[in-house]
């Protein structure tokens, strides 16, 4: 099959797809170990916030799906990335409220949610710019 300019993948597409998929795999691994691993592992993690952990774990599947869609240059990759970014920022906001109300938490969760929010905002902006309005199918 002859490659056209529409199905060539730029370095940005490769990187964005890889970052999203890698982020998803790491999220599933870490979240899965805490949720479904040994009690010792969960105890070693310390004071995690269950709604943040469950959101991130479930989102990990969507991270992978978004990464695949970005790699395949589908509009769904941009749409998923935007949805992930919005929901992540929303959960981060709820987490901040949890902290303000003196809820127990780990400093690393605050850092991780900051990183997640920034990464998904960047991926969403990039994917929107590259994939929305290109005329290819949503899936």
d(CA 114, CA 112): 5
pTM of this prediction exceeds 0.75: yes
- Residue 90: name the closest of 126, 120, 62 by CA: 120
Alpha helices by DSSP H, listed for 1-49, are: 11-36, 39-45
Per-residue model confidence as pLDDT tens for the chain (139 residues):
344 445 678 999 999 999 999 999 999 999 999 999 888 887 888 889 999 999 999 999 999 999 999 999 999 999 999 999 999 999 999 999 999 999 999 999 999 999 999 999 999 999 999 998 555 555 5
Length of the chain, in residues? 139
Of 120, 116, 113, 72, residue with least CA distance to 96:
113
């Amino acid at each position: 099959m002859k490659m056209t300019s529409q199905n060539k993948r730029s370095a940005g597409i490769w990187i964005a797809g890889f970052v999203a998929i890698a982020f998803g795999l790491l999220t599933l691994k870490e979240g899965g170990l805490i949720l479904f691993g040994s009690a010792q592992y969960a105890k070693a993690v310390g004071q995690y916030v269950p709604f943040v952990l469950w959101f991130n774990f479930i989102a990990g599947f969507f991270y992978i799906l978004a990464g695949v869609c970005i790699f395949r240059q589908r509009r769904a990759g941009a749409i998923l990335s935007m949805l992930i970014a919005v929901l992540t920022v929303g959960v981060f906001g709820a987490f901040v409220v949890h902290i303000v109300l003196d809820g127990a938490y780990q400093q690393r969760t605050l850092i991780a949610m900051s990183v997640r929010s920034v990464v998904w905002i960047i991926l969403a902006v990039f994917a929107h710019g590259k994939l929305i309005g290109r005329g290819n199918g949503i899936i």
